[in-house]
Amino acid sequence: MEGDFFTKSKNLVRVIAAYNPGLFIPLEAVGNSTIKYLYMQNCSAYLIPEDLLDGGLMDLNANGVDFQGSYYPQVMMCAPYELISHTIPDSEVFDYAALHPGYRNYVSDSKFINFNQNFNTRTCVPTIGFISTLASNLANFTISGADLGPFSDYTTVTLSSPYISSVVLNCSIIKPNRSYQCVNPRTMTGIVSLNLRVNNSIIPNPQTTVNVATARPFVTSVSAAPTRGGPVTVTGENLFLRQDAQSYVRVGAASSGVYITNYKILVPFKSFSFNMVSGFGGNISLYINVTNIGSNLATTPTIYYAAPVIFEASLTANIEQNLTISGDNFWNDSSLVSVSIDSQPCPVVSSDFSNIVCKPQIYPFKAGGLPLSVKVNDKTTTGSVYFIDTGICPNQCNSNGNCTVNGCVCFKGFTGPGCKDKIIYVDHNVNKTKPDTTIGAKEIDAILSIVALRELDSNGGLITEYPFNTWAFDNQTENIYIYKTNASSTNITVTVQWFEDASNFSFGGQVIPIGSNTIKYSIEMTNYSFRDKLSTLQLVMSATMSSSESDPCSQNQVGKSTDSTSIQWIKLTVNNRSLYGRFIKTGYIDGRSEVLSNHLLDSNYRVIESTDGKSTSSNTAQTYIGLNIPQYETSIFLDPDFSVLVSDDKPQCKSGLSVGQIAGIVVGAAVFVVIVAIIGAFLLRRKFKIFIDGKKIKMVEINKS
Supply the CATH number for residue 368's domain: 2.60.40.10
- Residue-level pLDDT at 164: 81
Question: pLDDT of 384-412, one tens digit each?
Answer: 898 988 888 888 899 999 988 878 888 88
Q: What's the start-to-end Cα distance of the chain, in Å?
A: 170
**C-beta atoms surrounding 112 within 10 Å:** 21
- Better pLDDT: 619 or 356: 356
Give the number of C-alpha atoms closer than 13 A to the C-alpha of residue 39, restricted to the C-beta side: 14
- Domain with 335 in it: 309-387
Does residue 658 fall inside a structural domain?
no
Query: Is residue 192 domain-shared with residue 317, that is, in the same domain?
Result: no
CA-wise closest residue to 389 among 595, 634, 234, 134: 595
Mean of per-residue pLDDT scores for the chain: 78
Query: CATH number, domain at 592?
Result: 2.70.98
> What SS3 state is found at 399?
helix
Query: Is residue 515 domain-shared with residue 642, that is, in the same domain?
Result: yes
**C-beta atoms surrounding 138 within 10 Å:** 14
Last residue of a domain, one of 99, 115, 140: 99
Last residue of a domain, one of 303, 334, 351: 303
Query: Is residue 450 domain-shared with residue 585, that is, in the same domain?
Result: yes
Confidence of residue 563 (pLDDT cuts 50, 70, 90): low
Instruction: Please give the DSSP secondary-structure letter assigned to residue 685.
Output: H
Contacts 24+ apart (CB under 8 A), 256-262: 257/284, 257/285, 257/287
Query: Is residue 222 domain-shared with residue 259, that is, in the same domain?
Result: yes
CA distances to 62, 65, 86, 107 from 111, in Å: 9, 11, 12, 8
Query: Is residue 345 domain-shared with residue 291, that is, in the same domain?
Result: no
CA-wise closest residue to 63 among 88, 82, 36: 88
Query: CATH number, domain at 202?
Result: 2.60.40.1220
The average pLDDT across 447-457 equals 93
Does residue 514 fall inside a structural domain?
yes
- Residue-level pLDDT at 80: 53
- Lowest-confidence segment of 65-74, 599-608, 668-677 by average pLDDT: 668-677
> What SS3 state is found at 333?
coil
Q: What percent of the chain has pLDDT over 90?
A: 30
- Better pLDDT: 70 or 146: 146
Query: Is residue 612 domain-shared with residue 675, that is, in the same domain?
Result: no
Does residue 557 fall inside a structural domain?
yes
Question: pLDDT of 691-703, one tens digit each?
Answer: 334 333 344 444 4
Query: Is residue 504 domain-shared with residue 629, that is, in the same domain?
Result: yes
Question: Is 657's pLDDT higher than 50?
Answer: no
Query: Is residue 490 domain-shared with residue 558, that is, in the same domain?
Result: yes
Query: Is residue 473 domain-shared with residue 534, that is, in the same domain?
Result: yes
Does residue 653 fall inside a structural domain?
no
Contacts of residue 560, Cβ cutoff 8 Å, sequence gap at least 6: 391, 392, 566, 567, 568
Query: Is residue 188 domain-shared with residue 75, that is, in the same domain?
Result: no
The total of structural domains in the chain comes to 6
Last residue of a domain, one of 213, 239, 264: 213
- Residue-level pLDDT at 288: 92
Confidence of residue 704 (pLDDT cuts 50, 70, 90): very low
d(CA 627, CA 644): 21
Query: Is residue 524 domain-shared with residue 437, that is, in the same domain?
Result: yes
Sign of CA dihedral 274, 279, 282, 288: negative
Query: Is residue 638 domain-shared with residue 621, that is, in the same domain?
Result: yes
659 membership: H or E segment, kind and range? helix 659-685
Q: What percent of the chain has pLDDT over 70?
A: 74
> What SS3 state is found at 490?
strand
Confidence of residue 63 (pLDDT cuts 50, 70, 90): low
- Better pLDDT: 502 or 62: 502
Question: pLDDT of 312-371, one tens digit each?
Answer: 899 998 999 999 999 988 988 899 899 999 999 999 999 999 999 999 999 998 877 899
Confidence of residue 678 (pLDDT cuts 50, 70, 90): very low
- Lowest-confidence segment of 18-32, 80-94, 552-566 by average pLDDT: 80-94
Does residue 607 fall inside a structural domain?
yes
User: Whole-structure pTM over 0.75, yes or no?
Assistant: no
Does residue 119 fall inside a structural domain?
no
The average pLDDT across 115-140 equals 75
d(CA 163, CA 463): 73
Question: Is 498's pLDDT higher than 70?
Answer: yes
